[in-house]
Amino acid sequence: MTNNIHTEFSYRKMGYSRPLLFFILPIILGLHAPAIADVDVDNGVCTSRADYCWSCSGTNETFNNGSNYERNLHTVLSSFSSNKTEINSGFYNSSLGQGPEKVNAMALCRGDVPLNDCHTCFNESISILRQNCTNQKQATIWAQRCTVHYSNVSIFGVAEDDPVKFVPGPTNAPNAEQFKQVLNPLVVNLSGTAAAGDSMKKFAAGHALVPATNQTIYAIVQCTPDLDRQNCSECLDEAISDIPQCCEGKEGGRVLRPSCNLRFESNLFYDAASDSLVNLPGKQGNNTGNGTSNITTKVSPSSFLGLLLSLCLSSAYAFF
Ligand SMILES: *[C@@H]1O[C@H](CO)[C@@H](O)[C@H](O)[C@H]1NC(C)=O
Ligand SMILES: *[C@@H]1O[C@H](CO)[C@@H](O)[C@H](O)[C@H]1NC(C)=O
Ligand SMILES: *[C@@H]1O[C@H](CO)[C@@H](O)[C@H](O)[C@H]1NC(C)=O
Ligand SMILES: *[C@@H]1O[C@H](CO)[C@@H](O)[C@H](O)[C@H]1NC(C)=O
Ligand SMILES: *[C@@H]1O[C@H](CO)[C@@H](O)[C@H](O)[C@H]1NC(C)=O
Ligand SMILES: *[C@@H]1O[C@H](CO)[C@@H](O)[C@H](O)[C@H]1NC(C)=O
Ligand SMILES: *[C@@H]1O[C@H](CO)[C@@H](O)[C@H](O)[C@H]1NC(C)=O
Ligand SMILES: *[C@@H]1O[C@H](CO)[C@@H](O)[C@H](O)[C@H]1NC(C)=O
Ligand SMILES: *[C@@H]1O[C@H](CO)[C@@H](O)[C@H](O)[C@H]1NC(C)=O
Ligand SMILES: *[C@@H]1O[C@H](CO)[C@@H](O)[C@H](O)[C@H]1NC(C)=O
Ligand SMILES: *[C@@H]1O[C@H](CO)[C@@H](O)[C@H](O)[C@H]1NC(C)=O
Ligand SMILES: *[C@@H]1O[C@H](CO)[C@@H](O)[C@H](O)[C@H]1NC(C)=O
């Protein structure tokens, strides 16, 4: 029974609502609307060991050397990496300038990382962006222990869908199906905890056991804490539904988004002090591995409402 509940969750978006929407919307919009782009494309590059991954904005979104945008960007980013900036949480956001010269930036330390180490991670990340996203108005970098993101567009409180970077681990899970049966409810549980966090921190870490293989899965999820609970939850839902595309069958991986990210590994990769055991109801004892292909795609009340709403909105749109 529990097997059904979480497979239903993970396949809900991928397997049902999205394709349906993508089929129905263009029909209603009369096919003259441009194709709805699937923003869940993997777009970014990583260093060879994936210590840093980043994504820069399109080629046209550049600023000139000596421009006010460059000065504002430099000032804001320098404050993130300066040890003089007050350390009170692992999250920094800042805006500087007016109109087209306005720079919005945020830097987020992974929730278990000591605050004293945050500036160093920001400093290294910003150096990489300087070298590899030169003159780009927008850029995002995901380091192992922090994230830095800036844009000329306002980014505070907004769950951004783009860019997305998938970083699958190198090793296959010994029993991929059993692994997935535990991974999904684990990250769902952690998402609930993270989304319930306060405006300083929305982070959760924990592990769960895969009974069939006696393997432990360690996972973390995090949102930028400027997101409210619902936006954080939705962002992490998206990240969870990205797992099959990102990391199917792998015993480790990262789904990286500007506003939230998740990571799982088969070893303890975060500070043990942040760890917790997540008990998954019905997962204790011996799971013989049955019911693995028992996937029921149901539309949950909320996504059904969403579907109805988008249908109404798009029909209205078609009329005007
Ligand atoms: C899926 O599981 C439910 C109950 O656990 C069962 O009633 C149903 O027949 C199963 N479906 C398939 C296709 O195995
Ligand atoms: C980029 O700018 C060039 C020249 O200004 C223009 O021809 C091109 O269409 C632009 N590309 C995009 C994607 O906006
Ligand atoms: C951000 O920069 C892009 C590219 O130069 C521009 O098209 C867009 O209008 C800018 N947005 C804002 C809010 O300034
Ligand atoms: C700005 O200066 C850097 C060197 O400091 C150079 O690499 C880059 O091409 C310059 N960009 C523009 C748009 O002139
Ligand atoms: C990183 O820190 C060094 C000093 O340790 C400093 O010289 C450098 O400007 C910093 N880099 C950035 C991008 O702030
Ligand atoms: C900040 O302090 C750390 C040690 O706490 C040091 O390693 C780092 O170089 C300092 N960074 C700057 C920019 O001064
Ligand atoms: C990033 O910049 C560094 C320094 O310029 C360069 O060595 C490296 O190849 C760049 N990486 C990518 C993926 O472009
Ligand atoms: C399962 O793993 C734990 C530690 O991860 C170990 O103590 C225990 O002996 C293992 N059990 C079996 C049956 O392998
Ligand atoms: C930074 O984020 C906080 C919420 O976390 C918000 O109250 C504040 O206004 C933001 N700062 C800027 C400069 O927008
Ligand atoms: C996650 O699991 C823990 C322990 O198993 C439980 O106490 C907690 O309520 C769960 N949190 C959510 C949001 O489901
Ligand atoms: C679980 O099943 C394995 C064989 O699949 C068996 O060796 C082990 O004793 C069982 N453990 C429990 C707690 O039933
Ligand atoms: C597992 O499935 C097999 C057939 O697929 C069935 O014979 C067996 O009884 C099932 N075991 C459990 C515990 O459901």
Domains of the chain (ranges, CATH numbers): 45-156 (3.30.430.20), 157-320 (3.30.430.20)
122 alpha carbon, closest ligand: 5
Q: What is the pLDDT of residue 81?
A: 87
User: pTM score, two decimals?
Assistant: 0.74
Residue 40 CB contacts under 8 Å (≥ 6 apart), including other chains: 161, 164, 238, 242, 245
State which ligand 4 atom lies nearest to the alpha carbon of 63: 13
- The number of beta carbons lying within 10 Å of the beta carbon of residue 270 is 21
In the block, which residue shows the tokens 């400093």? 123
Q: How far apart are CA 249 and CA 271, in angstroms?
A: 25
Find the 278 Cα to ligand 8 centroid distance in Å.
17
Residue with the smallest CA separation from ligand 8 atom 1 is 214
Residue 289 contacts residue 212 (beta carbons within 8 Å):
yes
First-to-last CA distance in the chain? Answer: 47
Sheet holding 139-143, edge to edge: 45-46, 52-56, 139-143, 146-151, 103-109, 91-96
Q: What is the pLDDT of residue 314?
A: 53
CA 167 to chain centre: 12
Find the 290 Cα to ligand 12 centroid distance in Å.
6
Comparing C-alpha atoms, which of 131, 70, 118, 125 is closest to residue 92?
A: 118
The preferred substitution site among 81, 83, 87, 115 for testing ligand 6, maximizing ligand atoms within 8 Å of CB, is: 83
Q: What is the pLDDT of residue 161?
A: 87
Q: Which segments of the chain have a pLDDT < 50? A: 1-39, 283-309, 312, 317-320
Comparing C-alpha atoms, which of 179, 159, 162, 161 is closest to residue 244?
A: 179
The verdict on the CB of residue 193 being under 6 Å from ligand 10 is yes
Q: What is the pLDDT of residue 89?
A: 86
31: left (phi over 0), alpha (psi -120 to 50) or beta: left
Backbone dihedral angles phi then psi of residue 113, each to the nearest 5 degrees = -80, 130
